[in-house]
Amino acid sequence: MFALCDCNNFYASAERLFRPELQGKPIVVLSNNDGCVIARSEEAKACGIRMGDPEFLVRDLIKKFQINVFSSNYVLYGDMSERVMHQLGRWFPRLDVYSIDEAFGWLGGINNLNSYVPKIRTAVVQNTGIPVSIGVAPTKTLAKLANKLAKKYNGVLVLDTDEKIASAVKDFPVHDLWGVGRQYYKKFEALKIETVAQLREMPEMWFKQNMTIMGQRMYNELWGRPAIPLDEIREATKGITVSRSFRNYIESPEILSEALTLYASRLAEKLRAQGLRCMYLQVFLYTNKNREDHPQHFPSHTHKLLIASNSTTDLVSIAVKVAQKLFKYGIKYRKAGVIATGLIPESELQLNIFSDHDGGKKDTVSAVLDKLNLAYGRGTLRMATEGFEKKWRLKHEYLSKGYTTRWSDIIKVI
């Protein structure tokens, strides 16, 4: 049996966790630069706030219903996600973390699921404060379906018999089924297939002919035959990206260098945290394609390193030099980023006889940076070219505190 554990309105729940006075009140979380709605509490949904709504278009609704607004705090969300996944790992023999707020678990060999699964939910809520829903079924596709229905059954639904499965799929909308995208839904709509029960009754050959191998898997999954295994070992990371939109347009190479310094520094941190080095560093710049009155420019360049590196000084130096070459005067840049590819484990570093390798000193400097920034907060020690004012930084007018990741923001109980 498979279980899908999903955090309810995760970003909103994480914000509410440390603000108990917000229980029962509408909450929305905005994307980078406070642009669009990316998370809503149930109360905000009832107020008419839709996913992806631009913030400026829903200001009247926010004011009318006194909706609490938060900027995205990914550091907080990432930390709370790790805590939830750690708790789930105690209950499942095998766990596949599917996303920041979802995980599939394997419950093979465990009896009395109807009493065991509610204990998982209770433990997660008690130990993390994040509400979760758990759906259990013979396949991952049916577990995903059960999870959506679980929100109507006190957060837990176990589909352990053919009768329960048939009842669950009877009126379940086919467009809400895991794996059904826009193109597949058009096919279903043309055939007047509206529920998963109707889809299940289609001949197996129809799935093969109209949905190829994915259709074959879906057919088996819907009939309780597992065709999508747990992915306990993730594929090796092929690339890491750090990119942001600017608060204001950048028209100066000096200010652009400040932004690229920060992005490259963050990229180097991510590489070291994963024990990786990169052979290629790509730098790209974007203008605002929605502004026809602005000259458009989308330059990009990939630099090959002589020796794979995750050193902050190396990556910052390359990123700044490349950005200076890509920059054009008279252009209003709206976004920039860096991408590391050609990733290799640190233990497999290949030296180059034509290069003087001083990786030992650079690694020591990077280690000191990581240690101090971890102890005293990110940005405590940084490259001088990052600047100080940072008027280009993301708009985060509603950013909450780092309750679990910053000593100064830990809640004090008196």
pLDDT digits (tens, 9 = 90+) for 86-122: 999 999 988 888 889 999 999 887 888 999 999 999 9
**Is residue 204 in some structural domain?**
no
**Is residue 285 in some structural domain?**
yes
CATH number for the domain including 244? 3.30.1490.100
**Is residue 290 in some structural domain?**
yes
User: Higher-confidence residue: 234 or 255?
Assistant: 255
Q: If you average pLDDT over each of 27-36, 123-132, 285-294, which comes out highest? A: 123-132
Q: What distance in Å separates the CA atoms of residue 255 and residue 332, rounded to the nearest whole number? A: 12
Q: Is the pLDDT assigned to residue 286 strictly greater than 70?
A: yes
**Is residue 49 in some structural domain?**
no
Element (H, E) at 339: strand 333-345
Q: What distance in Å separates the CA atoms of residue 312 and residue 369, rounded to the nearest whole number? A: 9
pLDDT band at 407 (very low <50, low <70, confident <90, very high): confident
Half-sphere exposure for 28 (CA within 13 Å, toward CB): 28
Q: Which of 147-151, 331-335, 374-378 has the lowest mean pLDDT?
A: 374-378
What is the domain extent for residue 363?
240-386
What rounded mean pLDDT belongs to the chain? 86
State the pTM of this model. 0.76
**Is residue 263 in some structural domain?**
yes
Backbone angles phi, psi at 384, to 5 degrees: -65, -35
Number of domains in the chain: 1
**Is residue 225 in some structural domain?**
no
Strand pairing category for 276-287 and 300-309? antiparallel
Half-sphere exposure for 59 (CA within 13 Å, toward CB): 5
**Is residue 320 in some structural domain?**
yes
Judged by DSSP in three states, 405 sits in coil
**Is residue 346 in some structural domain?**
yes
State CA 202 to chain mean position distance.
35
